[in-house]
Amino acid sequence: MSTTVQREPERRAGWAPAGRRVPRWQLLLRYLLLLAVLALTIGPFLWQLSTSLKGPGEDLYHYPPSLLPQHVTLDNYAGVAGTIPVWDFALNSSRWRSPMCSPTARARHSRVTRWPGCASRAVGVRWSYSSWRCWCRSRAS
Amino acid sequence: MAHSFTDARTLTAGQFVGGANYQELIHDPMFWTGLRNSLLYVLGVVPLLVILPLLLAMLVQRHLPGMTFFRAAFYTPVVASVVVVGLIWVWLLDDRGLINALLEGLGFGRVGFLSDPWLLLLSAMAVTVWKGLGYYMIIYLAALANVPRELHEACAVDGAGAVRRFLTVTVPAVRSTMVLVAALSSVGAFKVFSEVYLMAGPTGGPGGEDTTLVMLVQQVGTGLSGRVGYASALSVVVFALTLGLMLLVLRAQRKEDA
């Protein structure tokens, strides 16, 4: 091992004893630990991905479960759009166009705020926030 | 807070009832179950979230090939939605899920991660720790970058090994960060809701044994006949306890500094 070589990347962060290279077994141990943690952190996501590609008859509770799908299919992804209004949900999540911006929703909102007493407060607060955002946007444009 | 002194429900305005809500709370066994679970959650999660991310940060601190990839990968659970990761772990830990299949394959019996009340709480803690690791790792990475190299060098010249250097240089240098992490994670753990709600279901596991305080607030205070007054009283108590916990952590630090 050369005593003069100090690799530039190692100077930037972390610390190795000056002028000494890290022993190989330490490096190996470090990477083994890293891989173990890696399996823990992204393993569940890979399992999710694998499950999402599984065909009929080998669903989640098929026992014993197989790591990789036997019959690879994209039907599940196509099924999502057919089962739930997923694009509406996506719009809601992205908040660009709140569903409260539609005229019917606004009408419903004004009816709610006319309810007397506690009910209008309990229900109205949540609804009026999104319509308030609507109002702000319409004022701004 | 004003609601907590009334008997308000979702659809009716409340009458002032004084401290009756708080009195009922003390005699409510569910309140004590919730308090026990929330405190257990803090005791289980916080030490792990203070120590493990520090070790992880030291693991990825060096600039070695592939380190950026590892850092990003360790951070993915933080970015993912808690509902999504909660459901993934429910599948994995299910009686017929992957982990139990592995255990059975290795010759151990199946473990009822999601049917035994205590194991369920432990599983939820594991998910919380798993999800928090990356976040606190980043905080620790920032702190580690500020540890002066000279200290490490001097320490090594004096003949200290890696463990000794960790205890005498690294830990004191990042101690204020450890307190920050402890404060953040204890407050988060005390107010835990999503993980337990997803894994134990809305009723809080078998016989409601795994209900946490915030879940109790949600159970009591929602729905058409939700008891807003009582739920408000519960919330006030949760808030006070969280504040107390925070002060406790900060006090512990000041005592160490003095």
* C-alpha B189 chain-centroid distance: 3
**Where does the pLDDT of residue A40 fall: very low under 50, low under 70, confident under 90, or very high at 90 and above?**
confident
Asked whether B211 and B37 are in contact (CB, 8 A), the reply is: yes
Provide the pLDDT confidence category of residue A11 given band limits of 50, 70 and 90.
very low
Q: Which residue has the higher pLDDT, A63 or B103?
A: B103
Res B59: pLDDT: 86
Average of per-residue pLDDT across A119-140:
48
- Predicted confidence (pLDDT) per residue in B174-203, tens digit: 888 888 898 889 888 888 888 888 888 777
Distances (CA, A) of B43 to B113, B241, B246: 20, 14, 14
Higher per-residue pLDDT: B222 or A37: A37
**Is A102's pLDDT higher than 70?**
no
Chain A: give the shortest CA distance to residue B61, in Å.
Answer: 6
Q: What is the sign, positive or negative, of the torsion defined by CA atoms of A77, A78, A81, A84? A: negative
Residue B48 pLDDT more than 90? yes
Q: What is the pLDDT of residue B136?
A: 92
Question: ipTM for the complex?
Answer: 0.75
Average pLDDT over residues B3-19: 74
**Close Cβ partners of B182 (under 8 Å, ≥ 6 residues apart):** B46, B50, B249
Whether A98 has a pLDDT exceeding 70, the answer reads no
Closest among B21, B57, B37, B39 to B166, alpha carbons compared: B57
> Does residue A117 have a pLDDT over 80?
no
Interface of B with A (CB under 8 A): 8, 10-13, 56, 59-64, 70, 73-74, 76-77, 80, 84-85, 88-89, 91-92, 94, 96-98, 101, 104-105, 130, 133-134, 145, 149, 152-153, 156, 228
Q: Determine which of B88, B89, B137, B170 to mutate to test the interface with A (most A C-beta atoms within 10 Å).
A: B88
How does the average pLDDT of chain A come out, rounded? 64
Mind listing the pLDDT tens digit for each residue in A68-81? Answer: 777 777 777 777 77
Nearest to B212 by CA among B80, B89, B92, B124: B124
Express each pLDDT in A15-27 by its tens digit.
454 445 677 888 8
Bridge partners (DSSP) listed for residue B16: B6
Residue in chain B lying closest to A119 (CA): B11
**3-class state of residue B6 by DSSP:** strand
pLDDT for res A9: 46
- DSSP letters of B150-165? HHHHHHHHTT--HHHH
Q: Which residues pair with B6 in a beta bridge?
A: B16
Interface test with B, best of A41, A48, A58, A126 (most B CBs within 10 A): A41
Distance CA B36, CA B212 (A): 8
